[in-house]
Amino acid sequence: MDVRPGRSPGTVVLALDGELDHDTAEPLRDALESHSGADRVVVDCSGLRFCDSTGLNLLLRTRLRLIAAGGHVDLAGLRSPVDRIFEITGALKVFPVYEDVDAALAAPEARRA
């Protein structure tokens, strides 16, 4: 996983790679906890090949925590087959999803609400 600051203060980009499941969720959990003060987290899923319910639940819990603190989580680069779990579970309806990280970072504030 690659962690880097976004273009604006309070934004962090987390680039995921490989699989996000019960056995591999800990690094993402640690990164999210270490950036718990971020206003916005953009999760770059373009390198993600698999995501199970553990990974999805981690992202959903993070989304709720950030919303409660006035922030939000955006997803970027969702590709098949990972996008399928988000579609089946209805998670695509609660996350703003962008084609790539650049599109997410360039999105106007109103679109992210």
Q: What is the pLDDT of residues 40-63, one digit of tens each?
A: 999 999 999 999 999 999 999 999
Q: What is the pLDDT of residues 93-105, one digit of tens each?
A: 999 999 999 999 9
Going edge to edge, which strands form the sheet with 97-98?
Answer: 2-5, 11-20, 40-51, 72-76, 97-98
Q: Residue 1's pLDDT is what?
A: 76
Question: Domain count of the chain?
Answer: 1
Domain that holds residue 84: 2-112
Q: How far is CA 66 from CA 9, 17, 33, 53, 109, in A?
A: 15, 23, 11, 20, 15
What is the pTM assigned to this prediction? 0.90
pLDDT of residue 109: 60
* pLDDT digits 0-9 by tens, 67-85: 999 999 999 999 999 999 9
CATH number, position 73: 3.30.750.24
